[in-house]
Amino acid sequence: MHKPNLLLTKQFFAIHKINIMDGKYHLRVYIQFIVKHRHNCPSQFKMDTAVKFIYYKNSSLLKSFYHIPCQRSYFLCSGRIKQHGVHVTNYLSTSDQLKPYDVKVFCLNPKTIANYRKSFTGLGKNDGIDSFLVADYVRAGRIETDPWRGSQYLALQRLTRQRRHISEAIAREKNYVLNNIFLKFSEFALLSGEDSPVSNKFSATAEAILTEFKTTEDIANAPLEELIDFISASGHGRFSDPDQVASLLQKTARNSYRLDKALYEPITTSIACSFNCIRAFEKEQKALDKAIAATVAGLNPTEYQILKSVPGIGPVYAAGILAEIGSVRCFNSNNALAKYSGIIWRDNQSGEFDSEDTPMMKAGNRYLRYYLIQAAGSVVRYCPEYEDYYNKKFAEVPKHQHKRALALTARKLIRLIFGLLDKNQLYSPAKSR
């Protein structure tokens, strides 16, 4: 029997259905092969594609393709595989049976697969078609992510992403409590700087003032000596001039709007509840910081130290960035890293028209984008070069000044981070210019 003169170069296993029985995974897999015609001259290679459906029902997946000689195999797990995508990806990437075959396991973004589906006209939807799209997406060379990095990066991601969640919860609760503070003590909420009795509206002293005194009348009519003692006790003796603080506090109370007496107690209870939530969130945030420091110690220490060498990037920001990008070797340029984080802008141009308003794409990794932008805001405070760049971009436009300047500073920071990690060198102010 004549054998075709073909060389199997790659095979893609797109998992589209998962059953768990007796604690074991039973997978249905779609396999797409890439083959090359063998010729004497390598320059005459012709690329063909052979497509086959192969289902494995309640049987061992790993033994089913051992007989297929192949230069490289890829397992593709889309995020649409219900809640088991990460579990199966981790299972395949750590399988001892697959290690001799140099198998690469990818966990793809379902949004990219959904957009790739639109390029096929009149294509239906079922399990086979879904897995075909996943395999064909990679066969076409469109994959841009890094192979699954294993449980260590996943563990660090869980911690850094949870910290982002807690930070957003703190910011949301602070914004919410400010509304109630304005209702109870309007002038206290509006004043800032030297005109305000306290510099931080969420300090222990501010909390005591807002929760211990039922109404603003109680503050305005309180004896000055008692108010001074109260401020010194609640501030743990840290105020250099408690007399001035007490006088300013009474003045603020007299200039505030008055409410009906029936409203003061419910509002005070709401403010106390919000402060308790903020304190609880801050406590958990500190615990997460310790857990992040312990987890990141088991990863690449060189890349972690490189990120920490940049002024303004501390352990948390460094760990958050490292958890999302993994290794900088996954990206061929800083533009690829910027695209992965979503810090790029859409062009809006037609003929002689060129729009000045170009929104950010925000289609990449939102967690990486969060840590990069937060790190950029911190770097601006510690690095004069980035402070000057931020101020320059801030002054260029009349609207969206802060957000635009911070996003552009983050894009500049991406170039610095990529360059340092790619060259494996610490930050130097002279070389960063």
Mean pLDDT score, 217-226: 91
Note the pLDDT of residue 42: 33
Q: In the chain, what's the furthest Cα-to-Cα distance? A: 107
How many percent of the chain have pLDDT more than 70? 70
Q: Strand 6-21 vs strand 72-78: parallel, antiparallel, or unpaired?
A: parallel
Q: Which helix (H) or strand (E) holds 20?
A: strand 6-21
Residues 162 and 273 in one domain: yes
**What are the angstrom distances between the C-alpha of 49 and each of 12, 112, 141, 185, 193?**
12, 22, 13, 72, 69
Residues 12 and 126 in one domain: yes
Mean pLDDT score, 375-380: 96
Q: Give the tens place of pLDDT for each residue, 231-258.
A: 999 988 888 889 999 999 999 999 999 8
**Which residue among 294, 315, 338 closes a domain?**
294
Residues 307 and 251 in one domain: no
Q: Residue 428 domain-assigned?
A: no
Highest mean pLDDT among 41-50, 57-66, 145-154 belongs to 145-154
Domain that holds residue 379: 300-423
Whether the Cβ atoms of residue 414 and residue 365 lie closer than 8 Å to each other: no
Q: Residue 333 domain-assigned?
A: yes
Q: Residue 283 domain-assigned?
A: yes
Residues 348 and 411 in one domain: yes
Mean pLDDT score, 321-349: 86
DSSP 8-state code for residue 35: E
Q: Residue 432 domain-assigned?
A: no
Note the pLDDT of residue 230: 93
**Which residue among 294, 323, 348 closes a domain?**
294
Contacts of 411 (CB under 8 A, 6+ apart): 338, 343, 344
Q: Residue 225 domain-assigned?
A: yes
Highest mean pLDDT among 11-15, 30-34, 128-132, 213-217 belongs to 213-217
Note the pLDDT of residue 384: 93
Q: Residue 1 domain-assigned?
A: no
Residues 142 and 11 in one domain: yes
Q: What mean pLDDT is reported for the chain?
A: 77
Note the pLDDT of residue 69: 39
The CATH number assigned to the domain holding 98 equals: 3.30.420
Angle at CA of residue 330, ends 115 and 364, nearest 5°? 35
Whether the Cβ atoms of residue 346 and residue 358 lie closer than 8 Å to each other: yes
HEC readout, 202-228: CCHHHHHHHHHCCCHHHHHHCCHHHHH
Number of domains in the chain: 3
Residues 175 and 228 in one domain: yes
Note the pLDDT of residue 359: 80
> Could you tell me the pLDDT band of residue 59, with boundaries at 50, 70 and 90?
very low
> Could you tell me the pLDDT band of residue 137, with boundaries at 50, 70 and 90?
confident
Mean pLDDT score, 19-23: 48
Note the pLDDT of residue 85: 54
**Which residue among 118, 148, 178 closes a domain?**
148
Token digits of residue 81: 């595989």
Q: Residue 213 domain-assigned?
A: yes
Q: Give the tens place of pLDDT for each residue, 302-312.
A: 889 999 999 99
> Could you tell me the pLDDT band of residue 134, with boundaries at 50, 70 and 90?
confident
Token digits of residue 405: 């300047």
Q: Residue 71 domain-assigned?
A: yes
Mean pLDDT score, 58-79: 41
Residues 250 and 311 in one domain: no
Whether the Cβ atoms of residue 368 and residue 325 lie closer than 8 Å to each other: yes
> Could you tell me the pLDDT band of residue 88, with boundaries at 50, 70 and 90?
low
Q: Which helix (H) or strand (E) holds 295?
A: helix 261-296
Question: Which residue type is seen at 252?
Answer: T
Note the pLDDT of residue 72: 44
**What are the angstrom distances between the C-alpha of 172 and each of 40, 89, 161, 175, 277?**
67, 34, 16, 5, 11
